[in-house]
Amino acid sequence: MLLEPDVKFIKEIESLGGDTLKKCFQCATCSVACPISPDNKPFPRKEMIAASWGLKDRVVKNADIWLCHNCGDCSTLCPRGAKPGDVLAALRMYAIKEYAFPKKLGEMVSDPSKLPILLAIPFIIFLIVGMVCNMFVDPNWLCFSPGGDEIVHSHFFNSWLVDLIFVPLSLCVVAVFARGGYQFLNDIHQNAVLEGKTDKKELDLLGIAQAFPKVVLKILKHEKFDQCGENQSRSTPHMLVLFGFIGLFIVTSIFFVVLYGFQTHGPYSQFNPVKWLANISGIALVMGGLVMLKERISQDTSKQISTYKDWSLIGLVLALGLSGLLTEMTRLGELAALSYGLYYIHLVFVFCLFAYLPFSKLAHLFYRTLAMTYSEYANRQ
Amino acid sequence: MDKKFGFYICSGCGIGEAVNTEWIMDNVPKEEGYSNCTVHPFLCSKEGVDIINQDIKEKGVNTIVIGACSRRVNYDVFKFSGCILERVNLREQVVWSHARPEGWTMPEEVNEDEPDHLQMMAEDYFRMGMVRCEKVSLPVPYKLDAKSDKILIIGGGITGMQAALDASKAGYASTIIEKDGQLGGYAAKVRKQLPIQAPYDQLISPIVQQKIKAVESDSNISIKTSTVVARIAGQPGDFTVTLKAPGEKIEFDVPDPVPPEMRVDEKGKDLEKEKLDEIYKKINEGKADILKLDPNGEKFGAVILTAGWRPYEPAKDEFSHLGYGAIKDVVTNTAFEAIAKNGKIVRPSDGKEAKSVVFIQSPGQGKDDDFSYCGSVTSMVTLKQAKYVREDYSDDGKAFVFYQHMRTPGLSENFYKAMQQDPGIFMSKGDITSVTQDGDSLMVEAKDTLLGESVQVKADMVVLATGMVPVTHDDPVVNLAYRQGPGFRDIGLFDDYVDSNFICFPYETQRTGIYAAGAIRRSLTMEESMEDATGATLKAIQCLKSVDRGEAVHPRAGDQTFPDFFFQRCTQCKRCTEECPFGALDDDEKGTPKPNPTRCRRCGTCMGACPERIINFADYSIDSIGSMVKCIKVPSEDDFDEPPLRILVFLCENDAYPAMDMAGMNRMQWHHDVRFIPVRCLGSVNTIWIKDALSQGMDGVLYIGCKHGDDYQCHFVKGSELAEIRKSKISDALASLALEEERVAMFEIAIDEYDKLPKIINTFMEEVEALGPNPFKGF
């Protein structure tokens, strides 16, 4: 194999939190220590040398970096302080950027100085689209003085306006993922064949689809997380946040169907079971986010570090949950102006969640699931 | 000196319970001067020592025999200046290693029918001590008439300069001679140098200019550039040195020895002595004999050799698979350093920037070896040069290192870590299969890499980590006017690095008074070389001080004896001159040895070699040991129905004797029929002692000494090897006496192998028992 190390790639991985990368001296303690690494061609030793040699394609187009759940057992036991856990996390961030489109947006998402711009984008889009719609469709789609006895958020920010923005946005996100996902699957398969990690010759999408339910079950049960030694406590907050998101996704879907199917508008009564689910999910999201925050703040940086992408995701989770719950509470407390303002902010965060999903750390939801599904399909145990 | 004896036995430590100390004392002849006999239960106590001191003071005792513990313990307690002292080892070698059976009680009277082995052994040893004391005399130190304290330093590189500075700090004047026109050596030819102080992780600018300034401004140091040694004559403390310009031919150039190919005739037979002398004279026409001193020569007391190294020159086609010689951009590390010193790193072929450089540490081809004359320094230099690439091209410069061994000892591990941390330095173990030209660049192929597969790397340049050849490989450098030749004797173990057993005796060469430091000794970094220089300087100063006191320098530091020749009986056989491991003896035209006592290390190899037995030391002689052998009682059938055997063991006192003590301290048991005689070195064992032993009826003789060979541990380099050769030569003599040659055997042990000793002795005992008793018993 012709080696053409990419020095720029190494420097970038180092800047993404993998600055210990070159310390590796190939003792393979990490591969032995890892509780979830497969026996055949175990990670992360081979990823460590390939990364320290700047062999970008080998590590970025590689399912194994996604099988890692960043338990940190390897980093704790590494005799050289090379922190393979952090290096693999950095590689995943690099891979997210690599598969996302447009790349420019990806760079902005990973740059803390661009955060105000990213937040300003939805803020301004809402205003512009709202004004335009007010002018040409209905003057009350974005109404700054809804009035009325009851606080109804759709009187301020019309549901049509919400969907006008969010439905196309979701489609865009799906398209970006579809594009990246297809490329990703092909790449990791090629890599698996090259490195002898699979017995499958051709990539069979049907086979992958069949493996999917099994993997989803594993993910929901947090099986891999529970095998971790060093960082097992992460399992619970992750579960809270994941189930929170799932709950809210279900609630939103029900809203959508009820709105368009039965023409029933919110807000729902507090006694409605859907509302119960919404409230529980919102609280789970905030609780999970807070525990994650606490753990990240108190963690031993000699074992594991937190990067901007870690902080920004926790921030987003908390912002989403808190702004949503506060919107609801202020609504119930009949603080109209505050509630409408919070709703606007909440929508801004929801936009961020959707729009920046393929570029943020949250994209692991997609790539890790895909990689785990592929590995299930490829008999990589 | 009139000897007045004092005999003391300690009955403590179990001695008194196992042997009858009174009976031992009964063997002391009760005549004039032999009357001071004391048995004390705790001789090493203050009271015990006071008794001896009182005898010295009041009764004039000056020759003391102490039967107690080993001489390797309590040597600071039993120390009596101006007295001859013999320590008889009754504790470790007798009672501790030969336990009395359970329930044994001391008999009232001697049992004439049954031998009491332990009692006999103790009596033998005490008698041997007594006899030795009768035969030896107090040494008189050898003092030189004229003595120089100046140190000659050969080589003005970083090592030599450091040596001169250290000598100056200790108050010693020195002269540095340098063959080049200026000081600095290789240290002045590098772009940067490896770290020399904590935290040892970054390259530093060369420090050589500071050193040059320091030596130039030091009044204790004189500097002679463009100067080499024509010859060094004389001995430590009194070397007469002739210096000259490089390439000059002068009368006092050292004579060359006759090369091996001229030592034989057409048929390959060794030439006769006269013929050899003729050839020697012919090839050295116009040169003064080694014994002729240069009247204009400069006097020095000791020499520090810091002449350093030269780059290894690969032979044509030696590394053809690496493209060396055929491809211009494949260079050695020294050539690469020259490029780096000159400016940015560019390719020799076309001057293009070399942004991708592959460093090869081992020639590969399935072999694990590095290049010849390599060491940790070549690994470190590779890391340094890899850093040059990164310094010159920080954005896209790439340095690849393929190694079999990456050696970064001690704190230089920090440097390795720092280099490893550079994003553009890539390292892997690997076996280089080929280097080929690939269009404009080079293609390097390696297998068995850390990446788990064979790899190819595109390179602008390839650098081979070739080694550092000591200059003594090409030239003796020191040009000693010694009969054994101008250089250090090559013992075939050190690839022409100046011989030094760097574990036991660093800096010491095979020539006393000449100490080596730096890359002439081993491939070393500048930091290591400077540390080496300090060590060698201290050794040189130790030598000057010892010469001043008339003592041996090392390894028998403080020994005031020296070989004394009874020249009237010398047959000019030259064996002593030739066999001396340190070239201490020269000889005149007739072949009569000329001793140079300050060159001597007092091993006694000459004493062991001399067929006329005319070489002796004041306290160690053919007669003293021979008399000890003869005073061992050998029981015959007249004494007992089944007389016990007697085996004599010559025990090297450097490793074997302390090992024997350790065996005794551990209460290991061995056969009671052996008698030990400690010797300075197996090389000093004269075969006459074997004959003495066997002709008086002893049944076998055993030599136990240090290891020789590749990892020799002989303190005198060649002693045990010579002993082995001499032992093999007496087989014929034994055969003429109708004795089996198996009766004489030799074993080599290291000091930590004490646990093997009892087994060695007992096995030999069984072999001798199988041969049966010596037929000469009782004659």
CB-CB under 8 Å, A54 with B458: no
Q: What is the mean pLDDT of residues B496-509?
A: 81
Q: Which tokens in the block code for residue A10?
A: 């190494």
Which parts of B550-612 fold into alpha helices (H)?
Answer: 575-579, 605-609
A192 and A256 both lie in a single domain:
yes
Element (H, E) at B738: none
B391-404 pLDDT per residue, tens: 999 999 999 999 99
Buried/exposed B696-726: b ≥16 CB within 10 Å, e otherwise: bbbbbbbbbbbbbeeebbbbbbbbbbbbbeb
What is the maximal distance between C-alpha atoms in chain A? Answer: 73
User: Among partner residues A1, A5, A46, which is closest to B426 by beta-carbon distance?
Assistant: A5
pLDDT band at B419 (very low <50, low <70, confident <90, very high): very high
- B457 touching chain A per CB within 8 A: yes
Nearest CA in chain B to A3: B457
Task: Give the percent of chain B with pLDDT over 70.
Answer: 99
Domain B151-254+295-310+471-549 falls in which CATH fold? FAD/NAD(P)-binding domain (3.50.50)
A68 and A117 both lie in a single domain:
no
- Structural domain count, chain A: 2
- Length of chain A equals 381
Q: Which tokens in the block code for residue B632?
A: 């061992």
**Using a CB-CB distance cutoff of 8 angstroms, which residues of chain A are in contact with residue B448?**
none
Q: What is the mean pLDDT of residues B167-172?
A: 98
> How near does any CA of chain A get to the CA of B684, in Å?
53
Domain B564-616 has CATH 3.30.70.20: yes
**Tens digits of pLDDT across chain A (381 residues):** 899 999 999 999 999 999 999 999 999 999 999 999 999 899 999 999 999 999 999 999 999 999 999 988 999 999 999 999 999 999 999 999 999 888 899 889 989 999 999 999 999 999 999 999 999 888 888 888 887 778 888 888 988 899 999 999 999 999 999 999 999 999 999 999 998 899 888 889 999 999 999 999 999 999 888 888 887 888 999 999 999 999 999 999 998 899 888 888 878 888 999 999 999 999 999 999 999 999 999 988 888 889 999 999 999 999 999 999 999 999 999 898 999 999 999 999 999 999 999 999 999 999 999 999 999 999 887
B670: closest CA among B248, B234, B92, B275?
Answer: B92
d(CA A280, CA A273): 10
| Mean pLDDT value across chain B | 94
pLDDT band at B180 (very low <50, low <70, confident <90, very high): very high
CB-CB under 8 Å, A23 with B421: yes
Distance of CA A130 to the CA centre of its chain: 28
The CA-to-CA distance between both ends of chain A, in Å, stands at: 27
**Using a CB-CB distance cutoff of 8 angstroms, which residues of chain B are in contact with residue A58?**
none
Distance of CA B410 to the CA centre of its chain: 25
**Using a CB-CB distance cutoff of 8 angstroms, which residues of chain A are in contact with residue B417?**
23
User: Among partner residues A10, A25, A53, which is closest to B451 by beta-carbon distance?
Assistant: A53
Within 10 angstroms of residue A356's Cβ, the number of other Cβ atoms is 23
pLDDT for B768 equals 96
Nearest CA in chain A to B446: A1
Q: What CATH number has the domain spanning B620-779?
A: 3.40.50
**Which residues are CB-contacts of A48 (< 8 A; sequence separation ≥ 6)?**
A21, A24, A26, A30, A82, A84, A87
Is the Cβ–Cβ distance between B638 and B755 less than 8 Å? no
Q: Which of A100, A123, A142 is the last residue of a domain?
A: A100
User: Among partner residues A4, A11, A22, which is closest to B420 by beta-carbon distance?
Assistant: A22
Burial of B324 (0-12, 13-18, 19+ CB in 10 A): buried
Write out the residue limits of the CATH 3.50.50.60 domain(s) in chain B.
Answer: 151-254+295-310+471-549, 320-466
Is the Cβ–Cβ distance between B745 and B694 less than 8 Å? no
User: Among partner residues A10, A25, A49, which is closest to B451 by beta-carbon distance?
Assistant: A49
Interface contacts A/B by beta carbons within 8 Å: 48
d(CA A191, CA A196): 8
User: Among partner residues B396, B453, B456, which is closest to A7 by beta-carbon distance?
Assistant: B396
E runs forming strands in chain A: 2-3
* Adjacency order of strands within the sheet including B84-89: B36-40, B5-10, B63-68, B84-89
d(CA A375, CA B237): 80
Q: What is the mean pLDDT of residues B492-500?
A: 81
A364 and A242 both lie in a single domain:
yes
More confidently predicted of B597 and B453: B597
What is the per-residue DSSP string for B471-539?
GGGT--SS-B--TT-SS----SSSTTSPP--TTTSTTB-SSTTEEE-GGGTS---HHHHHHHHHHHHHH
Nearest CA in chain A to B406: A25
Residue given tokens 């010295």 in the structure block: B56
- B406 touching chain A per CB within 8 A: no
pLDDT for B383 equals 97
A204 and A321 both lie in a single domain:
yes
pLDDT for B112 equals 85
**Using a CB-CB distance cutoff of 8 angstroms, which residues of chain A are in contact with residue B458?**
2, 4
Write out the residue limits of the CATH 3.40.50 domain(s) in chain B.
Answer: 1-138, 620-779
A73 and A211 both lie in a single domain:
no
A43 and A117 both lie in a single domain:
no
pLDDT band at B150 (very low <50, low <70, confident <90, very high): very high
Rg over alpha carbons for chain B, rounded to the nearest Å, is 31
pLDDT for B779 equals 66
B237: closest CA among B168, B150, B154, B305?
Answer: B150
Question: Could you give the angle at which helices B757-771 and B656-665 cross, rounded to 10 degrees?
Answer: 100
Q: What is the mean pLDDT of residues B30-46?
A: 87
A181 and A223 both lie in a single domain:
yes
Let me know if residue A32 belongs to a domain: yes
CB-CB under 8 Å, A54 with B426: yes
pTM of the model: 0.87
Domain B1-138 falls in which CATH fold? Rossmann fold (3.40.50)
**Using a CB-CB distance cutoff of 8 angstroms, which residues of chain B are in contact with residue A2?**
455-458
**Using a CB-CB distance cutoff of 8 angstroms, which residues of chain B are in contact with residue A5?**
398, 424, 426
More confidently predicted of B3 and B499: B3
Q: What is the mean pLDDT of residues B658-668?
A: 97
pLDDT surpasses 90 at B512: yes
What is the per-residue DSSP string for B689-725?
HHHHHHHTT--EEEEEE---STT---TTSSHHHHHHH
Which parts of B136-258 fold into alpha helices (H)?
Answer: 158-169, 208-216
CB-CB under 8 Å, B424 with A14: no
pLDDT band at B50 (very low <50, low <70, confident <90, very high): very high
CB-CB under 8 Å, A5 with B456: no
pLDDT for B292 equals 94
A38 and A12 both lie in a single domain:
yes
B444-478 pLDDT per residue, tens: 999 999 988 899 999 999 999 999 999 999 999 99
pLDDT surpasses 80 at B32: no
A137 and A196 both lie in a single domain:
yes
pLDDT surpasses 90 at B586: yes
Range of the domain at A125: 104-377
Is the Cβ–Cβ distance between B693 and B668 less than 8 Å? no
One-letter-per-residue 3-state SS of B360-379: ECCCCCCCCCCCCCCCHHHH
Nearest CA in chain B to A1: B455
A270 and A343 both lie in a single domain:
yes
d(CA B443, CA B123): 80
CB-CB under 8 Å, A49 with B458: no
Let me know if residue A1 belongs to a domain: no
Task: Give the percent of chain B with pLDDT over 90.
Answer: 84
pLDDT surpasses 80 at B484: yes
Is the Cβ–Cβ distance between B714 and B749 less than 8 Å? no
Q: List the beta bridge partners of residue B88.
A: B67
> How near does any CA of chain B get to the CA of A11, in Å?
7
**Which residues are CB-contacts of B422 (< 8 A; sequence separation ≥ 6)?**
A22, B386, B387, B390
Taking any CB pair shorter than 8 Å as contact, residues of chain A touching chain B are: 1-5, 7, 10-11, 14, 22-23, 25-26, 46, 49-50, 52-54
Let me know if residue A371 belongs to a domain: yes
d(CA B489, CA B418): 42
**Using a CB-CB distance cutoff of 8 angstroms, which residues of chain B are in contact with residue A25?**
420
> How near does any CA of chain A get to the CA of B346, in Å?
20
Q: What is the dihedral of CA B475, B477, B478, B481, to 10 degrees?
A: 50
Interface test with B, best of A53, A58, A59 (most B CBs within 10 A): A53
pLDDT for A24 equals 93
> How near does any CA of chain A get to the CA of B344, in Å?
20
B316-373 pLDDT per residue, tens: 889 999 999 999 999 999 999 999 999 999 999 999 999 999 999 999 888 889 999 9
Q: Give the SS3 label for residue B305.
A: strand
Lowest mean pLDDT among A226-235, B341-350, B504-513, B697-706: A226-235
d(CA B257, CA B280): 7
Amino acid in the structure at residue B117: H
Q: Which of A100, A126, A147 is the last residue of a domain?
A: A100
B536-577 pLDDT per residue, tens: 999 999 999 999 999 999 899 999 999 999 999 999 999 999
Element (H, E) at B431: strand B431-438
| B320-466 CATH pick, 3.40.50.880, 3.40.50.300, 3.40.50.720, 3.50.50.60 | 3.50.50.60
pLDDT for B479 equals 96
Q: What is the mean pLDDT of residues B110-117?
A: 90
Residue given tokens 């070549």 in the structure block: B378
Q: Which of A73, A100, A127 is the last residue of a domain?
A: A100
Q: What is the mean pLDDT of residues B664-686?
A: 97
Nearest CA in chain A to B459: A4
A70-113 pLDDT per residue, tens: 988 999 999 999 999 999 999 999 999 999 888 899 889 989 99
A88 and A111 both lie in a single domain:
no
User: Among partner residues B395, B396, B420, which is closest to A23 by beta-carbon distance?
Assistant: B420
**Helix, strand, coil percent content, chain A, rounded in steps of 5:** 70, 0, 25
d(CA A162, CA B755): 91
Long-range contacts formed by B315-324: CB under 8 A, 24+ apart: B319/B363, B319/B464, B321/B363, B321/B364, B321/B365, B321/B432, B321/B433, B321/B434, B321/B435, B322/B360, B322/B363, B322/B364, B322/B432, B322/B434, B322/B435, B322/B462, B322/B464, B323/B434, B323/B435, B323/B436, B323/B437, B323/B442, B323/B462, B324/B464
pLDDT for B301 equals 98
d(CA A374, CA B417): 38
A174 and A253 both lie in a single domain:
yes
pLDDT for A266 equals 76
CB-CB under 8 Å, A5 with B398: yes
- B436 touching chain A per CB within 8 A: no
Nearest CA in chain A to B420: A22
- B417 touching chain A per CB within 8 A: yes
∠B57-B61-B64 over CA atoms, to 5°?
125
**Using a CB-CB distance cutoff of 8 angstroms, which residues of chain B are in contact with residue A196?**
none
